[in-house]
Structure 1
Amino acid sequence: MGNLCACLSPKPVNRKKPAKRIANPPAVSSNSSNRWNRIRSSRQEKLDDALIQEQARAAATIILQQHNGNLPFDRSASLRYPTSGSKKNQLPRSSSSRARSLTDPLLQPHQLVNQDIKLDDLETNHFVLVHGGGFGAWCWYKTIALLEESGFKVSAIELTGSGIHAYDTNNITSLSQYVEPLTDFLENLAEGEKVILVGHDFGGACISHAMESFPSKISKAVFIAAAMLTNGQSTLDMFSKQAGSNDLMRQAQIFLYANGNDQPPTSVDIERSLLRDLLFNQSPAKDVALASVSMRPMPFAPVLEKLSLTDIKYGSVRRFYIETPEDNAIPIALQQSMINSSPPECVFRIKGADHSPFFSKPQALHKLLVEISKIPSI
């Protein structure tokens, strides 16, 4: 992102007129040439000075806001002169259990974290990121960079048959097989070590499975636009609640039958022409391009599997949910239905986020993850 001033600087306006082509141009004396160079240099210096002054004013505005206790402004406000004291620019406090509304602040990683935060005082500073169906560890690249630059430890898990994991997705026959890389990771944690488990999309069902198996190793669980199921429910059961209401999902799904067309599907892929509309409708084009060449089919058997979740294990882990209101894959109504069926400790919302906030609103997501890490033990 470069330094703060570079982030805020406007693009220089190109005022050059098209060059005129003149046959046999007259000779120019060295004196007039030197004079023109001096004039051009003087104009450039004035433009540079004006640009530096504008950058300095913008940076000073942010510094004053932070000094006075105001929080970072968002893209909907002026990038040069944000209105100080505006409620729209203030981020909500973690003590509230109401749904949150965050936009994507245009700031550096170290500015997104309160300066008084002491990582050593947290129950854990280790995040474990679990991708959704069809995704891979690659989708977290922005989140990994932001968290690590803020001093956190981050592990992004590559689930079986996902990302660069060398396994045929069509041969996955159970949820436990699919999440084996995650359960192996948790099993090998040092004695007494805890992590914050973060799941996106179908990764919500995956971290739920892990919470039931390793509750003592998980400090908090964060569901991001994720399948947050109840005991005895499958992900397919969850999606069936919106049957008939999500035409885009039905159009985008491509079922694969590795065992023959007379057998149940073995995996499901996404039609590339509908990828942006379904998963990345608010995301940058470069991230959509990355996804279009990186996503793999999702195993179908785990989607059918009903979870066995108990209060004494799964229920003992603190849960938090992050809503994505512009989501076309798991619409906000379905997210809220899951929240109402099994209320987490706290619900957050990232304003303007699509199904993939790690692309569409990476800094707002980062801010929330850090805020959740700071919530003290009950």
Structure 2
Amino acid sequence: MTIRLLLLLIAAQFQTVSHAQSKTYVLVHGGWHGAWCWKKVVPLLEANGNRVVALDLPGHGDDKTSPATVTLDDYTKKVVQVATAQTGPVILVGHSMAGVAIAQAAEVLGKEKVAKLVFLDAFMPKNGESVFALAGKAEALNKAAGKPTPGPSLSQCLLLADDKKTSVVDPDRVGQLFYQDCSADDIAYVKAHIGPQPMACLGTPVHVTDAQYGAIPKVYILCTQAKDLDKRSIAKNVAVQKMYTLASSHSPFFSMPEKLVAILQAL
């Protein structure tokens, strides 16, 4: 009986330590994508004992909101809603365009709820900046530094709807733009799932403060082989706690999920 009680106490202590080391990740996809893009990352993070939520932003994935009506405020409300529903602090991970969504959500949630902001090859804004503004600034700095354009620009790969409210990525160029180091099966999967992007979300500036957004530790993961845009200047746009690099395309969640998860797990 004494031995059994001792074993139970040891097991309880182990579970307590394990639970204390686990983290809660809220994964926010980038433009034209959905929660589906994290399908390789979620089980790897969960296997390490973490809680993981991959959400569909309004108008994306399985969310049935009309993309033509979606605003950055809608994105923000969704991220805030999902983060608030989790017990304890969360790590917000935003890929690409979602950098502005997690930044604006962090302004609402504050440092008590958001333990870290992770910008995965993402647009990391200062107050008053939008995705378009950040992209334009990065392109100008790259040109001034004599850095060659890696390929067709993102704007050249977009097909705008007649009303200009949404866009889709040219299916003939999506592989070379976002997935040049991914498998043919992954690219086929993407083409079957990628959808329209609300354009208003890309042009709307964030409204953030030093007291809220500025007080939350930030981490940047730079994808050094990304073809859509060289984001080295964006990675320095706001002070970060640490910057990591992955020698990947813009989509390491498909091409090197284990390496991406190793970084996320180390946060």
TM-score of the superposed pair, with normalisation by structure 1: 0.61
The one-character-per-residue Cα deviations of 1:143-199 (angstroms, maximum 9, x if unpaired) are 001011111110001100101111211122x20113332121123344xx1111111
Q: 242-251 or 179-188, which moves further after superposition?
A: 242-251
Q: CA deviation at 1:330?
A: 2.7
**Matched letter for residue 26 of structure 2:** V
Bigger-Rg structure (1/2): 1
1:196 aligns with 2:101: no
The answer for the alignment partner of 1:136 in structure 2 is 34
SS at structure 1 position matched to 2:181 = coil
1:1-378 maps to which residues of 2 (within 5 A)?
Answer: 119-122=18-21, 125-172=23-70, 174-190=71-87, 193-215=88-110, 216-241=112-137, 242=139, 245=149, 247-258=152-163, 265-331=164-230, 335-351=231-247, 353-372=248-267
SS at structure 2 position matched to 1:154 = strand
Aligned-pair identity in percent equals 28
TM-score of the superposed pair, with normalisation by structure 2: 0.86
Higher strand share: 2
Distance 1:180 1:309 in 2: 15
Distance 2:18 2:160 in 1: 45
Q: 246-255 or 196-205, which moves further after superposition?
A: 246-255
Aligned pairs, number: 241
**Matched letter for residue 295 of structure 1:** I
Distance 2:220 2:176 in 1: 23
Q: CA deviation at 1:360?
A: 0.8
Distance 2:260 2:169 in 1: 25
Distance 2:73 2:161 in 1: 21
Call closer, same or farther: CA 1:154–1:202 in 2, change over 3 Å: same
Structure 2 unaligned regions, length at least 5: 1-16, 144-148
SS at structure 1 position matched to 2:233 = helix
CA RMSD of superposed structures (Å)? 1.5
Q: CA deviation at 1:285?
A: 1.3
Q: CA deviation at 1:252?
A: 0.8
Q: 353-362 or 340-349, which moves further after superposition?
A: 340-349
Would you say the 8 A contact 1:161–1:178 is kept in 2? Answer: no
Distance 1:211 1:178 in 2: 12
